[in-house]
Structure 1
Amino acid sequence: MNNQSVIDKTDEQEKKGLSFKFDLQAYTLIIALVLIALLFGIMTGGEFLSSRNLSNLSAQMAVISVISIGMTFIIVAGHIDLSVGSLVGLTGGIAAILQVWHGWSTFAVIVAAVAIGALFGVWQGWWVAYRAVPAFIVTLGGMLIFRGILIGLSKGQTIAPLNDSFKYIGNSYLPHVIGYGLAFLSVALLIFGTIRNRANRDSMGLMIQSWVIDYGKVSVYSLFILLATYMLNRYYGIPTPILIVVFLAIIFVFISNKTSFGRYIYAIGGNAEAAALSGINIKRNTLWVFIIMGGLAGLAGVLLTSRLNAATVNAGNMYELDAIAACVIGGTSLMGGRGKIIGTLIGALIMASIDNGMSMMNVETFWQYIVKGLILILAVWIDIANKK
């Protein structure tokens, strides 16, 4: 009896240790982000943490965040997409051409850009899923094809200006009252969700974390939401592109965690052979992953063109590497089968912060490329080391 008590106590201590280790890993990204913000804040005399710069940073990271969400699904499924930067440029360019040269309405232009991106996703997904061509090769070819189509359609010209309604998408802000209202609503939903989750776990006899941990998390998240809202409202308000990113994040977190499609993607990336033996249609689900990526690239193209109020042949250049880096930094494994949308968004924010901070310090462009490349290599190395 005493031995059993010792075993039970040891198991409980091990579970607590594992839980602490998991929490430490989960919050490493947030700690890194805080340190980066403090470092650049000190080196720029506090300008990096000003409301004006935080607002600009939020708008800048929106495009990368949108394509990073799709890239997370691609990588979790065990593939890669090197064409998203060119596809962002192409869809954004098509949107500008349709509106500036052909007079299409803003709504029609947005629908067309997203639909065209999804169609190109069908094309690439078909090669990968049904013709077994490696995604690396298909999307590498797509990167060149999409950039070439953009140059041909635009005749190498910068296409501008766009309608005011189109510019509004990437350059508008929420009124302060609505911003605070959404912030308090988010806090209320966090509290309600935590209470309900604890009650459900208790009713099913599952282990419940200490209330200090659960409500401590809610307090930290709530403080961050309210502080971010306050800082953004000190400038013009919450940028509309960030609301779009949050809305997409909620949708795709739900898809990845609460739907059979989301679980299939993780199963395929973790062990494709086992997934096939369990009856999962690998080809169809792989095709859908590329369709989602294409549609999100189309939306990102709209956001980028709207923010710049112009479409250029270089739009979206190298964005695929920023998206991949955001995913890997956020904990998505290049081996497949592991990754979270929230981690990816934090990774995107880290990449955008590094870009923004170095630009404010007038660091030369070549150093920015070197630093970002080193960060990507380091993140992949950490992923491989954790896997081993």
Structure 2
Amino acid sequence: MGEVIIEKMKLNKKFKINIDVKTYMMIIALIGIWGIFTFATGGSFLSPRNISNLFRQSVFTSVLAIGMVLVIIMGEIDLSVGSLVGLAGGIVAICDVWLELNPVLSILITLLVGALLGLWNGWWVAYKRVPSFIVTLGGYLIFRGVLVGITNGTTIGPMSNTFRYLGKGYVSPFVGLAISLVVAIYLVYYQRKTRKKKLAYGFDVLPAKFEFAKKALTILGIVIFVFVMNAYRGISVSILLLLFLAAIFFYITKNTVFGRHIYAIGGNEEAAQLSGIKIKKTMLMVFLLNGLLAAIGGILLTSRLNAASVAAGNMAELDAIASCVIGGASLSGGVGSVIGAIIGAVVMASLDNGMSLLNTPMFWQSIVKGLVLIAAVWADVSMKK
């Protein structure tokens, strides 16, 4: 009864609700991009097969963007991600093809190497106070050089069946529907729980009808996504892995003390230090997680290509940074989100995919992506003003 009274009181006052404007703007922009390419390609862009391929193509950049957005929120940068992706792919291919190790052991070794190299970057930045731009630029050269050295400059493949399934496999339509049902139930439960908690502490909440509409749209989006995926071959294994990682890091950034500390450091490092936040340890952990996610990205890329090469992951760090910025992250730190970074990666993949369907020359693709990046940064600066 008390909650009902509180809610009615909230409905009778002027609301001051915080909305992630940048994320919603990017969703609208993404829908606009899809509409343009659908019209230009005569509808083939929105075919189930192409949408499935589009999301599979965006998985690699999305995984890197999740790690990169943590670094950017903290006010730092990592230019070594692409080289670390290539090195991780080379290591997992060596373990699988040359040494013929168990796939699980190969993955664990690769993840360990990625975490250690992330620690290497973080140690220099956090404890030796070397600018992250310089440290990771050095890592960009070092990791690529190590990759060429351990692979002798050769392409290593083909990968075993486990990795091919990881990179190109699909789950059955029934499994996809079951997973979507579980996710929908959890999201409804999470939104309801969050609403009750806000009401208990006297925070502003959306009116009940808008909250219901938000839940309905969320469930509708999940249902449409699953049916489109099932119309082709089902949900890709790599997409499920991305959704799992996104859920974990969304929770970390929004519901843990560690996540709050990342935002605090990026917003004002001096104030964060005076408030008792352990800056060095937090920086070290963020770079470790970024290295771990880069290793996962390397495994996924190698699995999808069915081979590792010295050119793998080349310039991938730029796509990851662009995805974060397009998704609303600020290069000055303190602003950004995991969901926004993933949306930015889907935007980048949509531009690549749509222009490829239109047989657009490669140089035009680079020009368009560069212009979109500049426009995203300009929008960020304009909103701050």
User: TM (normalized to structure 2)?
Assistant: 0.94
SS of 1:133 mapped into structure 2: coil
> Any residues of structure 2 matched to 1:338-349 within 5 Å, and which?
338-349=335-346
Is 1:136 aligned with 2:106? no
Q: What is the alpha-carbon distance in structure 2 between the residues aligned to residue 222 and residue 64 of structure 1?
A: 25
Q: What is the alpha-carbon distance in structure 2 between the residues aligned to residue 187 and residue 337 of structure 1?
A: 30
Pick the aligned partner of 2:218 from 203, 217, 221.
Answer: 221
> Any residues of structure 2 matched to 1:138-217 within 5 Å, and which?
138-217=135-214
Is 1:361 aligned with 2:358? yes
Q: Deviations over 1:60-111 (max 9, x none)?
A: 1111111100001000011001110111011001110111111111111111
Q: Which residue of 1 aligns with 2:93?
A: 96
- Structure 1 gaps, min length 5: 1-8
> Any residues of structure 2 matched to 1:17-56 within 5 Å, and which?
22=19, 24-56=21-53
Q: What is the alpha-carbon distance in structure 2 between the residues aligned to residue 242 and residue 46 of structure 1?
A: 24
Is 1:293 aligned with 2:284? no
Deviation at 1:149, TM superposition (A): 1.2
The letter for the 2-side match of 1:155 is N
Q: Deviations over 1:120-167 (max 9, x none)?
A: 111111111111111011111111111111111111111111110121
The letter for the 2-side match of 1:45 is G
Q: Which residue of 2 aligns with 1:109?
A: 106
Deviation at 1:372, TM superposition (A): 1.1
Q: What is the alpha-carbon distance in structure 2 between the residues aligned to residue 80 and residue 226 of structure 1?
A: 37
Q: Which residue of 2 aligns with 1:79?
A: 76
The letter for the 2-side match of 1:356 is N
For structure 1, which segment, 200-209 or 369-378, has the greater mean C-alpha deviation from structure 2 after superposition?
A: 200-209
Q: What is the alpha-carbon distance in structure 2 between the residues aligned to residue 194 and residue 256 of structure 1?
A: 17
Q: What is the alpha-carbon distance in structure 2 between the residues aligned to residue 268 and residue 205 of structure 1?
A: 28
Q: Which residue of 1 aligns with 2:245?
A: 248
Give the percent of matched residue pairs that are identical in Structure 1 and Structure 2. Answer: 50
Deviation at 1:30, TM superposition (A): 1.0
Q: Which residue of 2 aligns with 1:233?
A: 230
Deviation at 1:23, TM superposition (A): 5.9
Q: What is the alpha-carbon distance in structure 2 between the residues aligned to residue 204 and residue 139 of structure 1?
A: 43
Deviation at 1:339, TM superposition (A): 0.8
Q: What is the alpha-carbon distance in structure 2 between the residues aligned to residue 275 and residue 197 of structure 1?
A: 26
Q: How many residues align?
A: 376
Deviation at 1:197, TM superposition (A): 2.8
The letter for the 1-side match of 2:209 is V
SS of 2:111 mapped into structure 1: helix
The letter for the 1-side match of 2:136 is T
The letter for the 2-side match of 1:81 is D
Is 1:322 aligned with 2:319? yes
Q: Which residue of 1 aligns with 2:59?
A: 62
SS of 1:234 mapped into structure 2: helix
The letter for the 2-side match of 1:145 is I
The letter for the 1-side match of 2:292 is G
The letter for the 2-side match of 1:153 is I
Q: Which residue of 1 aligns with 2:3?
A: none
Q: Which residue of 2 aligns with 1:3?
A: none
Deviation at 1:12, TM superposition (A): 4.8
The letter for the 1-side match of 2:110 is A
Q: What is the alpha-carbon distance in structure 2 between the residues aligned to residue 290 and residue 200 of structure 1?
A: 33
Q: Which residue of 1 aligns with 2:5?
A: none
Q: What is the alpha-carbon distance in structure 2 between the residues aligned to residue 298 and residue 309 of structure 1?
A: 16
Q: Is the 8 A contact 2:72 2:330 kept in 1?
A: yes
Deviation at 1:24, TM superposition (A): 4.9
Q: What is the alpha-carbon distance in structure 1 between the residues aligned to residue 248 and residue 20 of structure 2?
A: 24
Distance 1:316 1:292, change over 3 A: same
For structure 1, which segment, 36-45 or 293-302, has the greater mean C-alpha deviation from structure 2 after superposition?
A: 36-45
User: TM (normalized to structure 1)?
Assistant: 0.93
Q: What is the alpha-carbon distance in structure 1 between the residues aligned to residue 330 and residue 366 of structure 2?
A: 23
Q: Is the 8 A contact 2:22 2:328 kept in 1?
A: no
Is 1:335 aligned with 2:332? yes
The letter for the 2-side match of 1:207 is D
